[in-house]
A = this chain, B = another copy of it.
Amino acid sequence: MPIITFTSDFGDRDWFVAAVKGQILKVNPKATVIDVTHNIVPHDVRSAAFVVHSTHADFPPATVHLVVVDPGVGSTRKPIIVQSENYLFVGPDNGVFSYVLTDTSRVFAINITGEVSATFHARDIFAPTAGILSRGDEPPTLGTLISDYIRFSFPDVTTRGKAVHGEIIYIDHFGNLITNIPTATAIASVRIAKQHIAVKECYAEGRHGELIVVKGSTGFYEIAANMASAKSVLHASTGMHIVAAVA
């Protein structure tokens, strides 16, 4: 069955997500739409980019990833299709695909046909596009190859001697703080907000409420608090500076 994932900042109070799914099903009744999340903080393109990066490869090849965090809806920003080795991505050209684009990806500006609203391109442009792609139609039939798309950089880590400087790039539902330091780097501890936190194997190795660092499931170190929220304990937010000590 053709699979379409759907990530947005639409929330879960209104009919917006359902409207998109209905329009997909009108185009491809066989599509299965899997929600990633609709609770991206409104207009937070960088978090959406990280979410897409973190989960797109959990899905079978040929999955279409629909991502709509789109503060520029109705303006001149382009609706685009990204064609990578294993997946297709559909959404606005605002950098939301920055972390999944590779040098071999091809980007297409979607040719707009028919009438569209000024405020709901997810329903009027992106949903039909995702539906058609999920039927197996090729991107060139839907858009025009472009090279001037928007792509921002993943936050870099810098190493100075034994110190690896990084930052908090995402905070999850449990209050775990995801850093940009790859788990391939051997580190012994992390310093944040004047606290030194040791690396452990798993959450349960910490005492109740103890701050620990663990290897996260997306390939980056995470700061956690066993059975508690590291975000609350540290009053943390994304962008906070951290320093890890090389092991």
Interface residues of A (CB under 8 A from B): 1, 3, 5, 7, 10-19, 21-23, 25-26, 29-30, 32-40, 42-43, 51, 54-55, 58-60, 63, 71-75, 77, 117-120, 123-124, 172-174, 201-205, 214-217, 222, 226-227
A204 adjacent to B73 (CB under 8 Å): yes
13 A/B residue pairs, CB under 8 Å, sorted by A: A10-B173, A12-B173, A13-B40, A14-B172, A18-B55, A19-B217, A22-B58, A25-B59, A42-B173, A73-B204, A74-B204, A75-B205, A118-B201
Is A30 a contact of B1 with CB atoms below 8 Å?
Answer: yes
Cα–Cα distance between A157 and B119 once the two chains are bound (Å): 23
Residue of B7, B42, B174 near A42 (CB, 8 A) is B174
Supposing A14-B173, A15-B37, A73-B202 touch, asked if A29 and B119 sit within 8 A by C-beta, the answer is: no
Separation of A71 and B195 alpha carbons in the complex (Å): 24
Residue pair A202, B25 in contact (C-beta under 8 Å): no
Least CB distance from A29 to B in Å reads 6
A60's closest neighbor in chain B, by CB?
Answer: B26
Q: Chain B residues near A215 (CB, 8 Å)?
A: 117-119
The chain B residue with its CB closest to the CB of A77 is B204
In angstroms, Cα B22 to Cα A59, docked, is: 4
Hey, which chain B residues are within 8 Å of A120, CB to CB?
Answer: 217
7 shortest interchain CB distances as A-B pairs: A74-B202, A11-B173, A22-B58, A120-B217, A15-B55, A75-B204, A22-B59
Tell me if A36 and B15 are in contact (CB < 8 A). yes
Which residue of chain B lies nearest to A170 when distances are taken between CB atoms in the complex? B14
Given the complex, which residues of B lie within 8 Å of A118, measured CB to CB?
Answer: 201-202, 214-215
